[in-house]
């Protein structure tokens, strides 16, 4: 039996026939006929109750008379006298006197109590009958809740074709008797309604059992709804827990049982039920989770689907694969108890591996990117229906970006009063490779990379200097760093110093405000605004002298695009996030065309600007972004009162923009762009080159990808030859390979029959994470190869440490190699395991 109201997705489930309009006339005739029948039955019932009450009164009076007759001989009175005395007692007259015509006829003894008892019994039944009749008359037609919104599934792929997200609703195909696998039907009946084939829509025995268990448990622990009741609730009612809804549910269940066969009800239920992750119906769920139609489901897959209907959002295997497997074990045991399968078949099904064939739950961080492209998909495709979108997102760089941002915020955010951060990574061609819109999408869906408009501070100097270079100045052109007054505005340097005569390259590297203000006066603020427009900045910019110091407001994507235009030499750089959109037909709905040849930046000013950007990182305010062995340029930016801190870095392959600050515009603790923002860019660029050079995805347990094989290095021996020979003659047991089914000490430590093995690069966790790992390893062989004091362990060909870290089951230790650090970053980005909320 299920709970009273198993979890259900929003409206959009399927009814008996979503493609056909409901026959309202037939439904109305059925309701009126049922109402008339119920009224006649209630009339018969009330008449019977009234007749029973009268008979009860008469029998009471006859009994009283009999008792008086038996008492008459003892008093010497005749029966007639006794009756007269009784009548006198009730009327107040004396025996033998004539009746008073003015006095009303006396009631017979015993009639009043009988009528009161009859009324007390009749009134609640009458009220109940009226309540049921009202519920019957107002019954909604079947299928009235099955509203098809028209929204279909959207599968989103990364730049390398790997699907990583889905949105919308999966519908699948309607099941027929030939399509329904027996195991799925048996599993649903076993776990949801074992007496489905014997009751008539309402299981009184099940209701009584649920009420008894709930009373013993002190709360609602079990419901008594049958599959029929759940079916009518899905297609005709809502999920309100009220007596009115339960009454209508029971009446509709009786009607469905009278008009449909059990198999038809079961098929309708499986077509309408919600199985999580946007899948409505068993066929849609089979395709969503396992990449196959429902008729091809295996026993363990059918058991997993049957276990989802109780709590689909919580147990969806894309989100909680461990919970889904545990629930599937419960379903298999229920099937054993009902005789659907044997215990041996259940054990074999538990040992069989169930792998997802579709992407896991959308990583929260990528939702910022998905929100950004949602409008573009509809505009470019121009049609509804299931679609697959190939995007520009690089999953490796996306996880890396989220990881480095999270690490910096976790380390210094609270101390420096930094609450939020955003990041954009552009390829040299303008593709958006990664995007971090905020610290946590689940807390806030506001995309700070595209929607927030903040003052860029000294980042805007790049536009003023590029304008100056295009007007004939060079990095060697000299300006004097001195107090400047332009109208009522007196710009000052951050450090309060004045350096005298400096070349523009040095002034740009050290971000000297007075020189930038003089350049703005020299070339003119309208010319700087024109350069900004040419490089793709569309935000409103004030025509004031302070604009060169970033007094306007721009988005992170805009300003990063401007720097990317300088890197690419195109004005402006066309940024994009979608490569292609495919529908059901072979021909794509959209394919990004080759960008038309546009205006390009003059080669000499562009080269000067790139050289100045490199000077910032080599010897200026952006030295925290230096990466040994790599060419990195960039520019820092800090707005007034430390409300915003920026850094945009450029390499020969990409442009990386970072902003940090607070949503409420409150000041940070003296946070400059050359500190945390430059540090984030450094961390990203340092590891991004290795990720791009590797050219293959990270290990992922959720996606079922094999982990890359480790390349163990032989430790350098410090022993003498004699000691080595002795050690060879007496091998160390700890250096031998460990193989078998281990017990779990914690998520980083295993025990093989008393021999303890520590996983390389894993800082183990105990508690529920260790218990989940123990369930995962149950009856599975693990092979561990020693590497120094730790070991690399593999299970079914996959690196166990990488699987644990990618699932959020542990933290990466200080000695973790790069592939394990990448697995941890993936878990952090996807908010799974210990990184979850």
Average pLDDT, the chain: 79
3-state secondary structure 496-562: CCCCEEEEHHHHHHCCCHHHHHHHHHHHCHHHHHHHHHHCCCCCCCCCCHHHHHCCCCECHHHHHHH
Both tokens of 280, joined, read 């409505």
The more confidently predicted of residues 416 and 766 is 416
Residues 6+ apart with CB under 8 A from 118: 49, 50, 52, 53, 56
pTM (predicted TM-score): 0.64
Check pLDDT > 80 for residue 235.
no
Q: Check: CB of residue 611 under 8 Å from CB of residue 592.
A: no
Helical packing angle, 525-534 and 461-470, nearest 10°: 100
What is the per-residue pLDDT for 320?
83
What is the per-residue pLDDT for 655?
97
In this prediction, residues 740-764 reach a mean pLDDT of 87
**In angstroms, rounded to a whole number, what is the distance separating the alpha carbons of residues 332 and 354?**
14
List the single range of 229-243, 532-546, 719-733 with lowest mean pLDDT. Answer: 719-733
Helical packing angle, 262-272 and 227-236, nearest 10°: 50
Residue 333's pLDDT band (boundaries 50, 70, 90)? very high
What is the per-residue pLDDT for 731?
39
In this prediction, residues 245-272 reach a mean pLDDT of 81
Please write the tens of the pLDDT for every residue from 643-661: 999 999 999 999 999 999 9
Place of tokens 């552009």: 426
In this prediction, residues 97-117 reach a mean pLDDT of 55
What is the per-residue pLDDT for 62?
56
**In angstroms, rounded to a whole number, what is the distance separating the alpha carbons of residues 826 and 808?**
9
Please write the tens of the pLDDT for every residue from 17-62: 433 434 444 544 554 455 454 455 445 545 554 555 445 445 544 5
The more confidently predicted of residues 486 and 807 is 486
Q: Which helix (H) or strand (E) holds 792?
A: strand 790-795
Distance from the Cα of residue 691 to its chain's centroid: 27
Both tokens of 741, joined, read 């089914």
Residue 772's pLDDT band (boundaries 50, 70, 90)? confident
What is the per-residue pLDDT for 543?
96
In this prediction, residues 186-203 reach a mean pLDDT of 86
The more confidently predicted of residues 80 and 751 is 751
The more confidently predicted of residues 205 and 684 is 684
Residue 787's pLDDT band (boundaries 50, 70, 90)? confident
Residue 695's pLDDT band (boundaries 50, 70, 90)? low
Q: Where are the alpha helices (DSSP H) in 308-394?
A: 312-315, 321-337, 343-351, 367-381
């Amino acid at each position: 039996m299920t709970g009273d109201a198993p979890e259900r997705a929003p409206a959009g489930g399927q009814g008996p026939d979503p493609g056909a309009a409901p026959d309202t006339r037939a439904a109305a005739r059925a309701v009126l006929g049922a109402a008339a029948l119920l009224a006649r039955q209630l009339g018969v019932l009330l008449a019977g109750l009234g007749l029973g009450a009268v008979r009860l009164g008469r029998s009471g009076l006859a009994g009283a008379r009999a008792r008086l007759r038996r008492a008459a001989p003892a008093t010497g009175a005749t029966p007639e006298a006794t009756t007269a005395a009784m009548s006198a007692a009730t009327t107040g007259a004396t025996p033998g006197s004539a009746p008073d015509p003015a006095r009303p006829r006396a009631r017979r003894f015993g009639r009043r109590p009988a009528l009161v008892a009859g009324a007390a019994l009749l009134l609640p039944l009458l009220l109940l009958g009226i309540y049921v009749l009202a519920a019957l008359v107002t019954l909604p037609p079947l299928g009235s809740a099955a509203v098809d919104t028209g929204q279909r599934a959207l599968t989103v792929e990364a730049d390398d074709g790997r699907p990583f997200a889905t949105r919308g609703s999966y519908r699948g195909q309607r099941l027929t008797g030939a399509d329904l696998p027996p195991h799925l039907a048996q599993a649903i009946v076993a776990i949801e309604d074992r007496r489905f084939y014997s009751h008539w829509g309402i299981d009184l025995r099940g209701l009584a059992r649920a009420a008894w268990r709930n009373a013993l448990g002190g709360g609602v622990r079990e419901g008594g709804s049958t599959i029929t009741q759940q079916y009518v609730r899905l297609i005709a009612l809502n999920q309100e827990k009220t007596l009115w809804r339960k009454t209508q549910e029971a009446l509709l269940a009786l009607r469905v049982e009278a008009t449909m066969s059990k198999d038809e009800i079961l098929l309708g239920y499986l077509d309408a039920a919600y199985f999580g992750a946007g899948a409505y119906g068993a066929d849609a769920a089979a395709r969503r989770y396992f990449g196959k139609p429902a008729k091809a489901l295996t026993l363990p897959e059918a058991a997993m689907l049957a276990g989802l209907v109780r709590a689909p959002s919580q147990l969806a295997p894309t989100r909680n694969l461990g919970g889904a497997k545990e629930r599937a074990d419960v379903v298999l045991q229920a099937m054993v108890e009902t005789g659907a399968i044997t215990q041996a078949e259940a054990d074999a099904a538990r040992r069989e591996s169930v792998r997802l064939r579709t992407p896991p739950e959308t990583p929260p961080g990528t939702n910022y990117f998905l929100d950004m492209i949602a409008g573009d998909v509809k505009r470019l495709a121009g049609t509804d229906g299931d679609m697959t979108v190939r995007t520009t997102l690089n999953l490796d760089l996306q996880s890396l970006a989220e990881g480095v941002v999270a690490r910096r915020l976790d380390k210094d955010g609270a101390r420096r009063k930094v609450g939020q951060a955003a990041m954009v990574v552009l390829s040299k061609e303008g593709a958006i490779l990664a995007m971090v819109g905020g610290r946590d999408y689940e807390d806030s869906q506001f995309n700070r990379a595209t929607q927030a408009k903040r003052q860029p501070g000294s980042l805007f100097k790049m536009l003023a200097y590029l304008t100056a270079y295009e007007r004939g100045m060079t990095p060697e052109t000299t300006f004097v760093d001195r107090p400047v007054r332009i109208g009522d505005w007196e710009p000052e340097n951050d450090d309060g110093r004045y350096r005298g005569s400096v070349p523009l390259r040095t002034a740009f590297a050290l971000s000297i405000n007075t020189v930038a203000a003089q350049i703005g006066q020299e070339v003119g603020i309208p010319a700087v605004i024109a350069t900004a427009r040419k490089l793709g900045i569309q935000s409103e910019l004030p025509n004031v002298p302070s604009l060169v110091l970033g007094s306007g407001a721009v988005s992170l994507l805009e300003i990063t695009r401007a720097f990317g235009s300088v890197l690419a030499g195109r004005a402006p750089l066309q940024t994009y996030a979608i490569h292609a959109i495919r529908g059901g037909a072979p021909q794509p709905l959209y394919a990004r065309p080759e960008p038309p040849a546009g205006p390009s930046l003059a080669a000499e000013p562009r080269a000067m600007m790139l050289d100045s950007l490199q000077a910032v990182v080599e010897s200026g305010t952006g030295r925290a972004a230096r990466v040994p062995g790599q060419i990195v340029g960039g520019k820092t930016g800090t707005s007034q009162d430390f409300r915003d801190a920026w850094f945009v870095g450029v390499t020969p392959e990409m442009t990386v923009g970072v902003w940090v600050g607070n949503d409420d515009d409150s000041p940070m603790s003296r946070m400059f762009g050359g500190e945390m923002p430059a540090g984030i860019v450094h961390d990203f660029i340092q590891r991004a080159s290795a990720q791009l050079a590797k050219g293959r995805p990270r290990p992922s347990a959720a996606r079922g990808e094999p982990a890359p094989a480790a390349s163990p290095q032989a430790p350098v021996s410090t022993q003498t030859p004699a000691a080595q020979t002795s050690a060879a003659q007496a091998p160390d047991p700890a250096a031998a390979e460990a193989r078998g089914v281990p017990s779990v000490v914690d998520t980083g430590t295993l025990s093989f029959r008393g021999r303890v093995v520590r996983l390389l690069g894993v800082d183990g966790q105990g508690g529920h994470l260790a218990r989940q790992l123990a369930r995962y390893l149950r009856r599975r062989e693990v092979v561990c190869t020693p590497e120094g004091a730790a070991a690399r362990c593999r299970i079914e060909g996959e690196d166990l440490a990488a699987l644990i870290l990618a699932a959020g089951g542990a933290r990466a230790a200080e000695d973790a190699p790069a592939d394990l650090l990448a697995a941890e970053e993936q878990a952090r980005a996807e908010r799974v395991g210990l990184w979850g909320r």
